[in-house]
């Protein structure tokens, strides 16, 4: 039996590599002789560096940066196995999970730390950079990133505007005379599966602002500021990004990267699928396991479980999906190729207990699923 294990991470709990190891442990309890291929996955958010470095035999570089509140933080970026491509995840600097719940405020959180990671990779000589932008704590349109790269974002008096979405209303002009000299020689690919535009009811602010700490009053101010920011970008660069699909990802960082860095947006899952050769492994498999923190009706729209299931369906390979919680109507996921989905909790427990026991629960659920699979196969 050939089994592919291709999970995402369980946020604030286990990396995708750790999830894959736990699932494989459970499977080996039942079928110790099974051939297993573990391919940690991500969709452009947290875990993207780990997934790509693991898959390509690369390495991780640690370095100092700042978090979304511009406080010092130890961060990292990856180098792929080809030695020519750097991979960055914004969550490692400007991520939501680096802030306490009462610290989350998109009026002041900034992507400056992500810009420092980008600058470090460029100065290390990389001209091919993959930037995963999931898990952001920001709503600044990439203004902080641009400042880190040397763009002068100035108010009417010629002074730099402050950090965060609350300062965008002060932007009057952009000085390009001090931008990083190597930026023009770098190709940046943004790994992202979010299709939201920058502005409007389905844009960066209204859809994702609340989870970053925005109140109803903040949302109106942030949206107005972002609209002003988009007008200045169009005036300065001649490009309107307000309605482009995906421009609203990561609080508009995608829009900023497209304008300031001439970056291209690519499906995070498809990018990782290509680099890890996931489809090639699934084609040869008899069973696939995947996982993420929560499986619900939104999982069918660009999440890792959905992408894995679609690939497996092409080759009629059954897919078992595991998660900390399984909710809502999963009809669309089943249509995409998921055979069945299982919550890993085996008894009533608190969220904190579930997180602390996640590896154990994943292994136990995988074991129970494999016992069922084996019994059906032998009938």
Task: Judge whether 275 lies within some domain.
Answer: no
Contact 248, 6 (CB under 8 A): no
Contact 96, 125 (CB under 8 A): no
Q: Check: pTM over 0.85? Answer yes or no.
A: yes
pLDDT in tens, 210-269: 999 999 999 999 999 999 999 999 999 999 999 999 999 999 999 999 999 999 998 888
Q: How confident is the model at residue 379 (pLDDT cuts 50, 70, 90)?
A: low
Residues paired with residue 36 on neighbouring β-strands, in sequence order:
3
Domain CATH for 260: 3.90.1510.10
Examine the domain organization and report whether 209 and 132 are in the same domain: yes
| Overall domain count for the chain | 2
CA gap 346, 129 in Å, rounded: 42
Average of pLDDT values for 338-346? Answer: 94
User: Smallest Cα–Cα separation from 250: which of 87, 47, 96?
Assistant: 96
Task: Judge whether 98 lies within some domain.
Answer: yes
Helices (H), 124-178: 143-148
Domain CATH for 304: 3.40.50.10350
Residue range of the domain that includes 312: 2-40+286-377
pLDDT in tens, 7-47: 998 877 898 889 999 999 999 999 999 999 999 988 777 88
pLDDT in tens, 79-92: 999 999 999 999 99
Examine the domain organization and report whether 188 and 85 are in the same domain: yes
- Boundary-marking domain end, from 268, 301, 325: 268
Examine the domain organization and report whether 210 and 310 are in the same domain: no
Q: 358: Cβ–Cβ under 8 A, 6 or more apart, which residues?
A: 10, 13, 14, 22, 324, 344
User: Smallest Cα–Cα separation from 335: which of 312, 362, 364?
Assistant: 312
CA gap 286, 69 in Å, rounded: 47
User: Smallest Cα–Cα separation from 138: which of 252, 46, 20, 52?
Assistant: 252
Examine the domain organization and report whether 259 and 329 are in the same domain: no
């Amino acid at each position: 039996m050939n089994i592919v294990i291709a999970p995402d991470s369980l946020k604030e709990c286990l990396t995708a590599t750790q999830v894959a190891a736990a699932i494989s442990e459970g499977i080996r309890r039942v079928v110790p002789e099974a051939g297993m291929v573990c391919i940690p996955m991500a969709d452009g958010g947290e875990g993207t560096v780990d997934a790509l470095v693991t898959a390509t035999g690369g390495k991780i570089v640690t370095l100092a940066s700042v978090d979304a509140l511009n406080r010092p933080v130890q961060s990292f970026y990856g180098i792929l196995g080809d030695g020519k491509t750097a991979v960055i995840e914004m969550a490692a600097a400007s991520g939501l999970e680096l802030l306490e719940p009462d610290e989350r405020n998109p009026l002041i959180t900034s992507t400056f730390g992500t810009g420092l990671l980008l600058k470090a990779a460029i100065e290390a000589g990389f001209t091919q950079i993959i930037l995963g932008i999931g898990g952001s704590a920001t709503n600044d349109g990439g203004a902080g990133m641009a400042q880190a790269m040397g763009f002068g974002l100035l108010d009417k008096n010629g002074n730099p505007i402050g950090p965060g979405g609350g300062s965008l209303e002060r932007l009057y002009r952009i000085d390009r005379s001090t931008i990083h000299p190597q930026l023009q020689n770098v190709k940046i690919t943004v790994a992202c599966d979010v299709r939201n535009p920058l502005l409007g009811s389905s844009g960066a602010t209204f859809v994702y602002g609340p989870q970053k700490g925005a109140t109803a009053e903040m949302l109106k101010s942030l949206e107005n500021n972002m609209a002003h920011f988009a007008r200045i970008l169009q005036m300065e660069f001649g490009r309107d990004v307000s309605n482009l699909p995906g421009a609203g990802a990561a609080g508009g960082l995608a829009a900023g990267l497209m304008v300031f860095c001439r970056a291209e947006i690519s499906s995070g899952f498809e990018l990782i699928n290509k680099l890890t050769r996931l489809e090639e492994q699934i084609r040869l498999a008899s069973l696939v396991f995947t996982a993420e923190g929560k499986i619900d009706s939104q999982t069918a729209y660009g999440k890792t479980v959905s992408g894995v299931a679609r690939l497996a369906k092409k080759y009629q390979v059954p897919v078992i999906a595991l998660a900390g919680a399984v909710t809502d109507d999963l009809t669309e996921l089943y249509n995409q190729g998921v055979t069945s989905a299982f919550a890993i909790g085996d008894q009533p427990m608190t969220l904190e207990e579930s997180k602390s026991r996640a590896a154990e629960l994943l292994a136990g659920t995988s074991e129970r699923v494999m016992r069922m699979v084996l019994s059906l196969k032998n009938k």
